[in-house]
Amino acid sequence: MKKLINDPESVVAESLAGLGAAHPDLLRVFEDPRYVLRADAPRPGKVALVSGGGSGHEPMHTGFVGLGMLDAACPGEVFTSPTPDQVLAATKAANGGAGVVHIVKNYTGDVMNFEMAADLVAEDGISVNQILIDDDVAVEDSLYTAGRRGVGATVLVEKLCGAAAEAGAPLAEVVSLGKRVNEASASMGVALSSCTVPAAAKPTFELADDEMELGIGIHGEPGRERVSLRPAREVVDMLVQPVLDDLALGRGDSVIVFVNGMGATPLSELYLVFNDLRARLGTEGIAISRCLVGPYMTALEMAGCSITLLRSDDQLVSLWDAPVRTAGLRWGA
Amino acid sequence: MKKLINDPESVVAESLAGLGAAHPDLLRVFEDPRYVLRADAPRPGKVALVSGGGSGHEPMHTGFVGLGMLDAACPGEVFTSPTPDQVLAATKAANGGAGVVHIVKNYTGDVMNFEMAADLVAEDGISVNQILIDDDVAVEDSLYTAGRRGVGATVLVEKLCGAAAEAGAPLAEVVSLGKRVNEASASMGVALSSCTVPAAAKPTFELADDEMELGIGIHGEPGRERVSLRPAREVVDMLVQPVLDDLALGRGDSVIVFVNGMGATPLSELYLVFNDLRARLGTEGIAISRCLVGPYMTALEMAGCSITLLRSDDQLVSLWDAPVRTAGLRWGA
Amino acid sequence: MSDTFDLQSAYRWIEGFAEAVGAHKEELTDLDAAIGDGDHGTNMDRGMRAVMAKLGANSSADLGDLFKTVGMTLVSTVGGASGPLFGTFFLALGKAWPNKETLSADELLSGYSQAVAAVIARGRAERGDKTMVDALLAAQDAWEMALGGTSGDSETLSVVAAAAAEGAEQTVPLVARKGRASYLGKRSAGHKDPGAATVALMMAAAADARTGE
Amino acid sequence: MSDTFDLQSAYRWIEGFAEAVGAHKEELTDLDAAIGDGDHGTNMDRGMRAVMAKLGANSSADLGDLFKTVGMTLVSTVGGASGPLFGTFFLALGKAWPNKETLSADELLSGYSQAVAAVIARGRAERGDKTMVDALLAAQDAWEMALGGTSGDSETLSVVAAAAAEGAEQTVPLVARKGRASYLGKRSAGHKDPGAATVALMMAAAADARTGE
Ligand SMILES: Nc1ncnc2c1ncn2[C@@H]1O[C@H](COP(=O)(O)OP(=O)(O)O)[C@@H](O)[C@H]1O
Ligand SMILES: Nc1ncnc2c1ncn2[C@@H]1O[C@H](COP(=O)(O)OP(=O)(O)O)[C@@H](O)[C@H]1O
Ligand SMILES: [Mg+2]
Ligand SMILES: [Mg+2]
Ligand SMILES: [Mg+2]
Ligand SMILES: [Mg+2]
């Protein structure tokens, strides 16, 4: 394992200390329980957005705390959901009296820990609503399983709901917006190499030199199938086809596109992927209203990318364009 | 070689096509000769900043084209300086009548190609000045060698001179500011793994599991020495000591800090490195006035980081805080 | 071996469980890497070390108190899926035995059954979903059978532990329908569920805690 | 072999050089990976392929014209250090032989010497700096010696080519003082300079172009 760390046990704490020191204007980092709070929270009268999940996906979620996005984030250990006491403390600290929204990716651990926290929060009389993100079409959905994973749509929901909350939208509106964005989004990812969890000290999986893992999760969980490596253009087709099918997108539709890097894939390759993707969408007659290209929801140093499409409309585009000022995403402010 | 590409010969063109399509509000991409121009260039009366170098360092330089930073960038082939005709075309297109500045990293190829372009530009009556960046303390400087390489200071010079030019500073002022920033900056990098140039199709160098290359260049050029892997805290000390020595920094000084990721190193590790760095600077009594942490000047998918310190003052801090609106760096706009 | 389960047995159980998790940490993580995200051993080990630190610092007044501490500590230090689930398990034991200092064989089984029910309520997994619930229920079945027969004999917990291990083993061919492994669909078959393997360690520690008396 | 160097010889030279670079592309890149950035073979091959495409499309009126085209094409397609340097070399040849269709042995050498001087002026490298200049000067020395002796004999260019190869070989023990390899300091010793290796290929192609007459 080759990492710039001191001790696998303290990577999260040390990295957060660095984040806090780098961005005192944006956020504050708390330990025990561990959470990251927007510098000017609580904002009275504003719906508060709280998210969280395992660490190792930076900048998500801690890098999305700030104006126009999250009020607080709860980072768990690497790839491990946070505990209820973290979520409880973050929720209380972020609460501005207008209600709190938990943005939760649909992983069993995240769901249970946020649920337990919501039960505890309820005792304090804070009204908490949940937006559950489950946009990963790599995973067969079924009533009898844990359902789909939450991936790329998380970033979009946090941006868009963050903009709505910043603009003063009430709790119910923020929640229904988040649910609508999640439903109108679909994602699929691919890995070219594994990540290495610091505590495990060895790669989570092995891929041969000519293999890639299609439908990879953001924790190195195996996906749909292992297939042979192929040109970017074909990879894009394999990723986007199930997304198009899932959202039933076609001629005349427009989308917000998110090409996400998993960590080790160079930005130049992500733009190259975006180039192939826009060609494909052009062929389909689908317009791109906005796009985001970069490593925003990573899986440590995994090589690969994911594609997320969100069916867009004027409201979503104007929320997208609204100012955001966080360590990981910033414009207009 | 595992990359999301279609053909090693066309990676630069395809990636640029993606960049152009993703950011039509910020920039325009030209082919033959190849350069990237700020969307609203030329800006009459504004000193124009033109930079360039080999591709593979994204977001540098193409991702720094826009308000408050570069007017044009000339991307060469991967790790290969651009040709004079690219620089010539970019210089003419960016020229707003107030003079053009070439920001050139001190590599033989870059220097010669920019020089040849400057000779050609002179024939067109455009006044061109050069800022040569040579901040890498890994390399022994001497009259009898090619001198030091240009690395992290490039990003700082482009940001700070970009802000000055945007604010209307005249040519001589922008040039002397750039030279001052370069002189007041020093950098040193480390690699934990190699990069792979697409056309070469295999890693540029090999490192054993317990080795790192100290003083690495941003093209995978070997550095000072190959040493054993060690904790981040010690790596930081090894990187920062020669930087502190070079700049003769000490108690009471303040610096702008740039912790740069080489490509494959996760953002969380960069913040962890920043955390160790600020502890070290704290011990030295050196204040951090501003910081930048992230993969801004990469070497494809190399793992590792570099540390750049710039002795700062009020003028530099206010130029740093000035709005910048590019694909790779953005705030206040 | 006496018929009653007391504070000392409980402490030995938890201690033995913590040791077993520490010793099998890498193995549990490897099981999780195959069909999950490779953190189960690390998660449980972090939690059980925190539990031992907590128990070392404060002595528990009774079984209810002790298991509540274990459960709360797991909930607040493990995270992931196993944190709430093992946390819920021990919290339910604590709830089942308020102010108790010793338990009869029947009380022990009935508390265990309530804890298993709480885990099922929390995670909504059914038998055969390839989760820790499979090992928990296999143990419960064997336990009910044993008590229904010659009842409460000194070998009961060994039989129960063996059943838990067998239950974990039987998750191998199953296709996961809950938890992270379910994302794998058919590809999850052929691997043992890590949470079930941890349950086997937990029940073996329970048996050892009593044999050691 | 005649004593004059004409347009056909020149074309054969460039063609042979392009072929040699293509055939040794990987080897040149490997040399560059050891002490540089691993692109020299790719760079030169891209350039020489562009040169061949350009020469194929337009026929050159004279030697000045032909070498100007070669030089301009290299300058605008190679980039890096070798683009301006080899570009400058051929541009200087073009300048040395304006409107010429044939060259005497003396004119050939004097044009070559001017081109080498132009490369030195452009890159400011001295003999022994471990660059292409070492091979260029080694060839020039041998050439001057040969012409000074029995002069202009049919073997001259073979001798020159051998000297270029030997000059490239002699860069091995040197510590680089110019170009990217100089960043390595002492660690650059023990490797052959890639640009010098390319010069050896270029001069071998020149010799072959004449022998083929
Ligand atoms: N819904 C569920 N009900 C019961 N057990 C579950 C459920 N989901 C997951 N598990 C158990 O949790 C174990 C995984 O735990 P762990 O790896 O620590 O958490 P995570 O999956 O969040 O990384 C699985 O092996 C399984 O036994
Ligand atoms: N200043 C110089 N003068 C002469 N030749 C040089 C000089 N700098 C570099 N070279 C030559 O250029 C070669 C490297 O070319 P290349 O790899 O294509 O460019 P780059 O170093 O920009 O990647 C070296 O092997 C050396 O022979
Ligand atoms: Mg986990
Ligand atoms: Mg190069
Ligand atoms: Mg797990
Ligand atoms: Mg090179």
- Could you tell me the two tokens for B237? 């000390």
Interface of B with A in 194-253 (CB under 8 A): 209, 212, 229, 231-233, 235
pLDDT in tens, A188-235: 999 999 999 998 899 988 999 999 999 999 998 877 789 999 999 999
Q: Does chain D reach chain A with at least 3 CB pairs under 8 Å?
A: no
**What's the pLDDT score for residue C9?**
93
The rounded percent of chain C whose pLDDT value lies above 70 is 94
Task: Calculate mean pLDDT across residues A250-278.
Answer: 98
Distance between CA atoms of A60 and A258, rounded to whole angstroms? 14
Residue with structure tokens 């059954």? Answer: C113
Adjacent-strand bridge partners of B203: B196
> Which positions of A are catalytic?
57, 219
pLDDT in tens, D79-114: 999 999 999 999 999 999 999 999 998 999 999 999
Residues 6+ apart with CB under 8 A from A216: A138, A189, A190, A191, A222, A223, A262, A299, A302, A304
Residues of chain C found within 8 Å of residue A151, distances taken between Cβ atoms: none
pLDDT in tens, A70-89: 999 999 999 999 999 999 99
Cα distances (Å, whole numbers) of residue C96 to A235, B46, C11: 54, 77, 17
Cα-to-centroid distance, A222 and ligand 3 (Å): 14
Task: Calculate mean pLDDT across residues D108-135.
Answer: 97
Residue with structure tokens 């999301």? Answer: B4
Task: With a cut of 70, list the residues of chain B below it in pLDDT.
Answer: 141-143
Chain A: closest CA distance from residue B238 (Å): 13
pLDDT in tens, A135-163: 999 987 666 778 899 999 999 999 999 99
Residues of chain A found within 8 Å of residue C39, distances taken between Cβ atoms: 77-80, 197, 199-200
- Domain containing residue C66: 5-210
**What's the pLDDT score for residue C2?**
54
- D54/B contact by beta carbon, under 8 A: no
Distance between CA atoms of A35 and A51, rounded to whole angstroms? 10
- Could you tell me the two tokens for D65? 């014209």
Distance between CA atoms of B149 and B129, rounded to whole angstroms? 19
Q: Which atom of ligand 1 approaches the CA of C44 most closely?
A: 18
pLDDT in tens, B225-270: 899 999 999 999 999 999 999 999 999 999 999 999 999 999 999 9
The reply to whether ligand 1 has any atom less than 6 angstroms from the CB of C46 is: no
Cα distances (Å, whole numbers) of residue B115 to A88, B105, B224, D114, D179: 61, 12, 29, 20, 15
- DSSP per position, chain D: --S-EEHHHHHHHHHHHHHHHHHTHHHHHHHHHHHS-S-HHHHHHHHHHHHHHHHHHS--SSHHHHHHHHHHHHHHHT-TTHHHHHHHHHHHHHHHSTT-SEE-HHHHHHHHHHHHHHHHHHH---TTSSSHHHHHHHHHHHHHHHHHTT-S-TTHHHHHHHHHHHHHHTTTTPPP-SSGGGGGGGGGTTS--HHHHHHHHHHHHHHHHHHT-
The rounded percent of chain B whose pLDDT value lies above 70 is 99
Distance between CA atoms of A44 and A186, rounded to whole angstroms? 34
Q: From 3.40.50.450, 3.30.1180.20, 3.40.50.2000, 3.30.300.30, which CATH number describes the A185-331 domain?
A: 3.30.1180.20
**What's the pLDDT score for residue B3?**
98
pLDDT in tens, C179-208: 989 888 888 999 999 999 999 999 999 999
Q: Which of D3, D1, D198 is nearest to D109 (CA)?
A: D3
**What's the pLDDT score for residue B220?**
86
Phi, psi values for residue A154, rounded to 5°: -55, -45
**What's the pLDDT score for residue D32?**
93
**What's the pLDDT score for residue D212?**
54
Q: Which of C170, C180, C140, C182 is nearest to C157 (CA)?
A: C140
Task: Calculate mean pLDDT across residues D124-132.
Answer: 96
- The predicted complex's ipTM stands at 0.93
- A233's enclosing H/E stretch is helix A232-247
C-beta of residue B284 within 8 angstroms of C-beta of residue A24:
no
The confidence band for D172, taking pLDDT boundaries of 50, 70 and 90, is: very high
- Could you tell me the two tokens for C183? 């994302």
> In chain A, which residue's Cα lies nearest the Cα of C82?
A109
Alpha helix positions (H), C58-128 = 63-77, 82-96, 105-123
**What's the pLDDT score for residue D74?**
98
- Could you tell me the two tokens for B238? 């090894």
pLDDT in tens, A307-332: 999 999 999 999 999 999 999 999 99
Q: Does chain C reach chain B with at least 3 CB pairs under 8 Å?
A: no
Q: Which atom of ligand 1 approaches the CA of A79 most closely?
A: 23
Q: Is the pLDDT of residue C150 over 80?
A: no
**What's the pLDDT score for residue D150?**
56
> Into how many domains does chain C fold?
1
Q: Is the pLDDT of residue D136 over 50?
A: yes
Q: Select the more confidently predicted residue: C213 or A260.
A: A260
Residues 6+ apart with CB under 8 A from D23: none
Give the domain CATH number at C104.
1.25.40.340
- Could you tell me the two tokens for C104? 């009869």
Q: From 3.40.50.10440, 3.40.50.300, 2.130.10.10, 3.20.10.10, which CATH number describes the B10-183 domain?
A: 3.40.50.10440
B57 is catalytic: yes
Adjacent-strand bridge partners of A241: none
Choice among A40-49, A117-126, B55-64, B181-190 with the minimum mean pLDDT: A117-126
Phi, psi values for residue A90, rounded to 5°: -65, -40
**What's the pLDDT score for residue B134?**
96
Facing B278 at nearest CB: one of A21, A278, A305: A21
Task: Calculate mean pLDDT across residues C79-87.
Answer: 96
Enumerate the domain spans of chain A: 10-183, 185-331
Helix-, strand-, coil-residue percentages of chain C, each rounded to 5: 70, 0, 25
C contact test, residue of A221, A225, A227, A300 with most C CBs within 10 A: A221
Q: Is the pLDDT of residue D154 over 70?
A: no
C-beta of residue A38 within 8 angstroms of C-beta of residue A66:
yes
The average confidence (pLDDT) of chain C is 92
Q: Is the pLDDT of residue C75 over 60?
A: yes
> In chain A, which residue's Cα lies nearest the Cα of B202?
A209
Residues 6+ apart with CB under 8 A from C79: A54, A76, A77, A80, A81, A82, A83, A109, A113, C43
Distance between CA atoms of B95 and B50, rounded to whole angstroms? 9
